[in-house]
């Protein structure tokens, strides 16, 4: 019997140490070895002055092991509900153990239940404190043996934080520049809209990992650490946006929205020489800290996604093209038919009955008939080519998602009326960004720039990793033609122009109004207008180009009445904020006007 017993023991040793060695070694290693994923911190987003617009904070996912709670599910739920800000009844349901069938068909108790994600460190500390100090009924004063093991497990391990840290995205300025920044979402903390989406691969970084060995109490044996690969944090994105300018724009836009109550509105501020976007705002807006509370229409970046017929602001294109082709000059005159022009069986109307108007006067008065006749002089092929050269019908390649190309019909689809309707901004559509870049090309001596919203990427030490330089797209018109256009556009804010309310006291302004009736099923919709004004200043040495547009303003709807005053309010504050040198002397102008008003002495 003794020999048989030793033989069985020897067989068992051989089985464990030789036959099943690899299998048992792997099992033991799995029980003591853990791979901990090290999440990279998502990069921050800054404005051009270094103001932080978006940042990330590491947070916890609070979980529970219901099997360790014993009979105390209700007590733990009541204690933790106010700390985790959860409903105690629902929390108690989640804390009760349930049987689940594994993929192999085996019944197991749920040992991992997520109670709440995105828990800040201070809240997690409050959870641990609550679990350590809460009173439990029937808990013995003195603990020993299995009782000690149970209550220790309940207080220290039943509620735990997931090893993999989560992140919470924070936008310190709230809704400021919400449509530019976008937001993140999902368990992967990935960018969903705006810069968060467009630059997601740069902001995300790369995961690291740590292979550790633990003892029987799940504590790491640091000396046995196998691998330790640190995470690489995401790069920081520095925008061309200026938070101060953005605040000015959004403040003035909010005033205009309250006054005119449009369906939507957009303001864009650009540096013509570089294409840098200093501000981009839309209404309605949203708080990127709470994107789920906003409707889709509130989160839409209208500056790049919404299309409209540009109306009279588009008259710049045919007239600039005709000047560039030397088919006309600013002094050339066209008869505007006293407000009616019959062409291809249809009558084109002007807002007022104009007779002879110079090309400059066509811009000043915003004559539809005059623009149509300039377009006819230019010819359909050339007009179509210049429309594309100014950037219409194609995306601007701005670093924002969701941009649309607009609509420019190919020449074979133009009808007999198109040559008279397209020059006044009909039968086509464009985004607000395309319109402001067109005007910026005039301000930039005829050179079209690619709009730029991201200046550079930097690492945690502030070192520039990637820079996105200003990029010229093409020379659309000659500098001489651009100078002539600027001269004509300066008259728009003059005494005879359509945008007197856009005039600045210390800076000369060149601009153009637009009041386009909105198209719909069966034709243009009565009483529904898209009103806009685009201008730049100082006119002869432009620093800023500003677009203001409103979709269906209530009451007054002319661009010179609705949008031009918003331009003025923004431009005045922007000039002070950016210290733009004045090019006008209002005191001298006032003195001259006062002198003229004095009666002559005999």
Which of the 8 DSSP states describes residue 336?
-
The pLDDT value recorded for residue 242 is 97
**477 phi/psi in degrees, rounded to 5:** -130, 160
Q: If we measure between CA atoms, which residue out of 537, 543, 588, 584 comes closest to residue 564?
A: 537
Domain chopping of the chain, boundaries: 60-168, 243-593
CA dist., res. 282 & res. 291, Å (int):
15
E strand or H helix that includes residue 513: strand 510-520
Mean pLDDT across 593-601: 45
414-448 burial, b for 16+ CB within 10 Å, e for fewer? beebbbbbbbbbbbbbbbbbbbbbbbbbbbbbbbb
CB atoms within 10 A of CB 547: 29
Is it the case that residue 219 has pLDDT exceeding 80? no
The percentage of residues in the chain with a pLDDT greater than 70, rounded to a whole number, is 91
193-197's contacts with Cβ under 8 Å and 24+ in sequence apart are 193/291, 193/299, 193/301, 193/401, 193/402, 194/288, 194/301, 194/400, 194/401, 195/45, 195/237, 195/239, 195/399, 195/400, 195/453, 195/454, 196/45, 196/54, 196/169, 197/401
- Tens digits of per-residue pLDDT, 130-164? 999 998 888 887 878 788 888 888 899 899 998 77
Q: If we measure between CA atoms, which residue out of 98, 92, 90, 96 comes closest to residue 74?
A: 92
Assess contact for 527 and 553: CB atoms under 8 A: no
CA dist., res. 298 & res. 286, Å (int):
6
CA dist., res. 118 & res. 123, Å (int):
10
Assess contact for 343 and 417: CB atoms under 8 A: yes
CA dist., res. 480 & res. 486, Å (int):
10
Is it the case that residue 220 has pLDDT exceeding 70? no
Assess contact for 196 and 182: CB atoms under 8 A: yes
**How confident is the prediction for the chain on average, in pLDDT?**
90
Is it the case that residue 357 has pLDDT exceeding 90? yes
Label residue 58 by pLDDT band (50, 70, 90).
Answer: confident
Q: CATH 3.40.710.10: does it fit domain 243-593?
A: yes
Label residue 382 by pLDDT band (50, 70, 90).
Answer: very high
The pLDDT value recorded for residue 405 is 96
Q: CB under 8 Å to 162, separation ≥6 — which residues?
A: 60, 61, 63, 114
CA dist., res. 234 & res. 205, Å (int):
4
The pLDDT value recorded for residue 34 is 67
Determine the 3-state secondary structure of 295 from DSSP: coil
* Top-ranked range on mean pLDDT: pick from 109-123, 137-151, 247-261: 247-261
3-state DSSP of 517-574:
EEEECCEEEEEEEEEEEEEEECCCCCCEEEEEEEECCCCCCCHHHHCHHHHHHHHHHH
Assess contact for 176 and 282: CB atoms under 8 A: no
Give the predicted TM-score (pTM) of the model.
0.85
- Tens digits of per-residue pLDDT, 36-54? 677 888 999 999 999 999 9
**395 phi/psi in degrees, rounded to 5:** -70, 150
The pLDDT value recorded for residue 597 is 45
Assess contact for 532 and 435: CB atoms under 8 A: yes
Label residue 211 by pLDDT band (50, 70, 90).
Answer: confident
Q: How many helices (H) and strands (E) does the chain have?
A: 22, 28
CA dist., res. 280 & res. 396, Å (int):
15
Residue given tokens 């959004």 in the structure block: 250
The pLDDT value recorded for residue 218 is 56
- Tens digits of per-residue pLDDT, 272-315? 999 999 999 999 999 999 999 999 999 999 999 999 999 999 99
């Amino acid at each position: 019997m003794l020999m048989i017993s030793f033989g069985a023991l020897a067989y068992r040793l051989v089985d464990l140490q030789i036959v099943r060695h690899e299998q048992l070694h792997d099992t033991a290693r799995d029980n003591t070895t853990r791979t901990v994923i090290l999440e990279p911190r998502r990069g921050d987003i800054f404005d051009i002055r270094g103001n932080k617009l978006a940042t990330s904070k590491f947070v916890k996912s609070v979980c529970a092991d219901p099997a360790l709670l014993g009979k105390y599910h209700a007590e733990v739920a009541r204690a933790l509900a106010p700390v985790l800000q959860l409903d105690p009844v629902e929390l108690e349901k989640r804390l009760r153990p349930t049987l689940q069938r594994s993929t192999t068909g085996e019944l197991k108790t749920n040992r991992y239940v997520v109670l709440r994600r995105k828990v800040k460190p201070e809240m997690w500390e409050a959870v641990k404190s609550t679990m350590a100090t809460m009173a439990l009924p029937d808990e013995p004063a003195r603990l020993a043996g299995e009782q000690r093991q149970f209550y220790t497990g309940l207080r220290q391990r039943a509620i735990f934080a997931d090893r993999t840290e989560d992140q919470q995205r924070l936008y310190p300025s709230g809704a400021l520049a919400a449509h530019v920044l976008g937001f993140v979402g999902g368990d992967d903390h990935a960018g969903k809209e705006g810069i968060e989406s467009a630059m997601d691969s740069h902001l995300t970084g790369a995961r690291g990992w740590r292979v550790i060995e633990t003892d029987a109490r799940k504590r790491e044996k640091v000396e046995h650490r196998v691998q330790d690969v640190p995470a690489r944090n995401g790069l920081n994105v520095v925008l061309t946006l200026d938070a101060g300018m953005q605040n000015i724009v959004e403040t003035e836009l909010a005033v205009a929205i309250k006054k005119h109550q449009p369906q939507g509105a957009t303001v864009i501020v650009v540096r013509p020489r570089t294409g840098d976007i200093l501000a981009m705002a839309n209404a309605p807006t949203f708080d990127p800290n709470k994107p789920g509370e906003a409707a889709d229409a509130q989160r839409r970046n209208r500056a790049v996604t919404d299309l409209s017929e540009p109306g009279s602001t588009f008259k710049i294109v045919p007239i600039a093209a005709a000047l560039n082709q030397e088919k006309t000059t600013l002094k050339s005159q066209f008869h505007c038919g006293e407000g009616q022009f019959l062409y291809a069986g249809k009558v084109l109307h002007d807002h007022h009955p104009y007779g002879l108007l110079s090309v400059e006067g066509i811009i000043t008065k915003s004559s539809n008939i005059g623009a149509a006749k300039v377009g006819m002089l230019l010819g359909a092929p050339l007009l179509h080519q210049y429309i594309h050269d100014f950037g219409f019908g194609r995306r601007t390649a701005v670093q924002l998602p969701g941009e649309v190309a607009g609509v420019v019909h190919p020449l074979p689809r133009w009808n007999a009326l198109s040559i008279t309707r397209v020059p006044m901004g009909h039968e086509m559509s464009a985004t607000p960004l395309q319109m402001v870049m067109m005007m910026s090309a005039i301000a930039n001596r005829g050179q079209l720039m690619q709009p730029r919203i991201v200046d550079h990427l930097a690492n945690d030490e502030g070192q520039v990793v990637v820079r996105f330089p200003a990029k010229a797209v093409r020379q659309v018109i000659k500098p001489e033609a651009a100078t002539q256009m600027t001269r004509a556009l300066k008259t728009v804010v003059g005494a005879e122009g359509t945008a007197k309310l856009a005039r600045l006291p210390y800076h000369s302004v060149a601009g153009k109004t637009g009041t386009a009736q909105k198209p719909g099923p069966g034709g243009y919709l009565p009483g529904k207008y898209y009103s806009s004004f685009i201008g730049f200043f100082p006119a002869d040495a432009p620093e800023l180009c500003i677009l203001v547009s409103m979709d269906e303003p209530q009451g007054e709807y002319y661009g010179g009445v609705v949008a031009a005053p918003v331009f003025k309010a923004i431009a005045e504050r922007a000039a002070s904020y950016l210290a733009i040198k004045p090019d006008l002397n209002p005191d001298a102008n006032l003195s001259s006007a006062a002198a003229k008003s004095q009666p002559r002495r005999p």
